């Protein structure tokens, strides 16, 4: 973009947020603008910073469980999953197979709920009001299903060291199967309503292209990375829990624009449904909670555990010191690394395209700020 002298004199700063609807939370982006073009977008974080890592250092490891759900409140169960698996790896606790199946089923349901919320919110950013009503309608079914067994609708604390809080019942299985049938029919509607919509395609195709090298330099993961054609999914590449027992694909995009990231998430929902279906078919009998010592001691030394959250790779890095309280707990969250490429990606683009890019990144601000 060539700037005339007039434009050079007329550079100005624009605050996008912290209450801008398309930032999906309290995120501020300071934009240096020239006319309608963005010259330098600089995100400002920390509005909902709660210092979860300090809280982890000040209580026995079991007491941190509720905190995990309050980082990514949209997709809390994978955060539960990562933390319990970390402590189980550290202490060598064996988990009953049925419990791992239940964890996978509920985590995948939560992932679908998260993607449905993103679908509605993204299209709302792009000016389409109807899809969010459809998306929330479907998501409501998942929240009802999960509320019955976990006791909460959003900030779940359902997993326990060595298993899950309680067993699932026939009602859960029937409701989940019915929901899968329902959502498969709804995908047809979404495709007609959104995917082939010419306005939607114009707003997303060739916008915000993330190259594989750029993704690597910023450590991007999750659907944002897979949109660029790299088939990296922690569930496949670093198998945990019982994921290796299921047959599912890792959808990838071609060139890494907003449309690719959209398509990856839509196809990922279908794969999640496949995983849930297989898990329900093969659900083993048995206990859902192993016997674990009341006072869990974390041996000296470090330990890492990575899981695939809805937005990408979530890593917990723990340093133990022989007591039951973690000496250090680092939480590596996906949105943080994903958004950090914005100053490079958003240079020289139109302001409406920046809104499209931010939406396609599927940001959850409390997760980044921790």
Partner 1 sequence: MAPETKNFKEDILFHEFNTTETDYNQRGYHLEVALEVNQVRKFAQKAYDEGFYLVFVTGFHVLSEETAEGTTSGLNGVYQFARYDRLYRIKGQVSVPEDMSLPSICDIYQGASWHERETRDLYGINFEGHPNLKPLLLSDEDRDFHPLLKEEKKLKSLEAVSWTPEALESVDADAKAPSSDSIDS
Interface contacts to partner 1, rule CB under 8 A: 45-46, 49, 51, 53-54, 57-60, 86, 89, 92, 215-220, 225, 230, 232, 236-239, 244, 293, 295, 297-306, 313, 315, 317, 319-325, 327-328, 330, 332, 336-337, 340-341, 344, 369-370
Write a three-state SS string for 221-232: CCHHHHCCCCCC
Backbone angles phi, psi at 208, to 5 degrees: 60, 55
CB of 286 to partner 1, least distance (A): 23
Burial class (CB in 10 A: 0-12, 13-18, 19+), 330: middle
Relative to beta strand 11-16, strand 28-34 is antiparallel
Q: Which is nearer to partner 1, 298 or 354 (CB)?
A: 298
Q: Which is nearer to partner 1, 54 or 171 (CB)?
A: 54
CB of 111 to partner 1, least distance (A): 20
Q: Which is nearer to partner 1, 17 or 320 (CB)?
A: 320
Q: Which is nearer to partner 1, 96 or 219 (CB)?
A: 219
Q: Which is nearer to partner 1, 112 or 306 (CB)?
A: 306
CB of 251 to partner 1, least distance (A): 15
CB of 171 to partner 1, least distance (A): 35
Q: Which is nearer to partner 1, 234 or 263 (CB)?
A: 234
CB of 50 to partner 1, least distance (A): 10
Burial class (CB in 10 A: 0-12, 13-18, 19+), 116: buried
Q: Which is nearer to partner 1, 271 or 315 (CB)?
A: 315
Task: List b or e across 136-145, with b for residues whose CB sees 16 or more CB atoms inside 10 angstroms.
Answer: eebbebbbeb
Q: Which is nearer to partner 1, 11 or 89 (CB)?
A: 89
Task: List b or e across 4-24, with b for residues whose CB sees 16 or more CB atoms inside 10 angstroms.
Answer: eeeeeeeeeeeebbeebebbb
CB of 126 to partner 1, least distance (A): 27
Distance set, CA 138 to CA 148, 181, 277 (Å): 16, 12, 17
CA-to-CA distance for 336 and 56, rounded, in angstroms? 19
- DSSP assignments along 218-260, one per residue: HT--THHHHTTT----HHHHS--TTGGGS-------SS-SHHH
CB of 247 to partner 1, least distance (A): 11
CB of 116 to partner 1, least distance (A): 27
The separation between CA 281 and the C-alpha centre of its own chain, rounded to angstroms, equals 26
Burial class (CB in 10 A: 0-12, 13-18, 19+), 254: exposed
């Amino acid at each position: 973009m060539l700037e005339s002298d007039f434009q050079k004199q007329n550079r100005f700063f624009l605050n996008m947020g912290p209450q801008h609807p398309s930032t999906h939370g309290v995120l501020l982006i300071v934009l240096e603008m020239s006319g309608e073009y963005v010259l330098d977008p600089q995100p400002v974080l920390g509005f909902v910073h709660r210092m979860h890592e300090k809280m982890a250092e000040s209580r026995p490891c079991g007491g941190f469980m509720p905190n995990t759900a309050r980082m990514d409140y949209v997709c809390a169960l994978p955060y539960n999953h990562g933390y319990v698996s970390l402590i189980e790896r550290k202490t060598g606790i064996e988990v009953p197979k049925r419990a791992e199946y239940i964890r996978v089923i509920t985590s995948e349901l939560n992932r679908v709920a998260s993607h449905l919320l993103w679908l509605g919110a993204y299209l709302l950013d792009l000016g389409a009001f109807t899809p969010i009503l459809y998306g929330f309608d479907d998501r409501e079914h998942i929240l009802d299903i999960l509320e019955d067994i976990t006791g909460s609708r959003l900030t779940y604390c359902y997993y326990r060291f060595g298993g899950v809080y309680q067993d699932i019942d026939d009602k859960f299985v029937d409701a989940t199967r019915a929901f899968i049938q329902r959502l498969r029919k709804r995908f047809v509607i979404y495709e007609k309503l959104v995917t082939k919509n010419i306005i939607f395609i114009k707003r997303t195709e060739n916008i915000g292209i993330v190259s594989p090298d750029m993704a690597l330099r910023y450590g991007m993961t999750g659907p944002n990375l897979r949109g660029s054609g790299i088939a990296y999914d922690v569930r496949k590449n670093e198998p945990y829990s019982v994921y290796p027992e299921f047959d599912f694909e890792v959808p990838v995009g071609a060139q890494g624009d907003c449309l690719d990231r959209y398509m990856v998430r839509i196809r990922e929902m279908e794969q999640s449904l496949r995983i849930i279906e297989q898990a329900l078919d093969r659900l083993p009998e048995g206990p859902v909670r192993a016997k674990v010592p009341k006072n869990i001691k974390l041996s000296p030394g470090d330990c890492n555990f990575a899981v695939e959250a809805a937005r990408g790779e979530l890593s917990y890095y723990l340093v133990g010191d022989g007591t039951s309280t973690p000496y250090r707990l680092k939480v590596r969250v996906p949105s943080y690394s994903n958004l950090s490429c914005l100053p490079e990606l958003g240079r020289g683009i139109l302001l409406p395209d920046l809104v499209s890019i931010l939406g396609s990144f599927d940001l959850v601000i409390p997760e980044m700020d921790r």
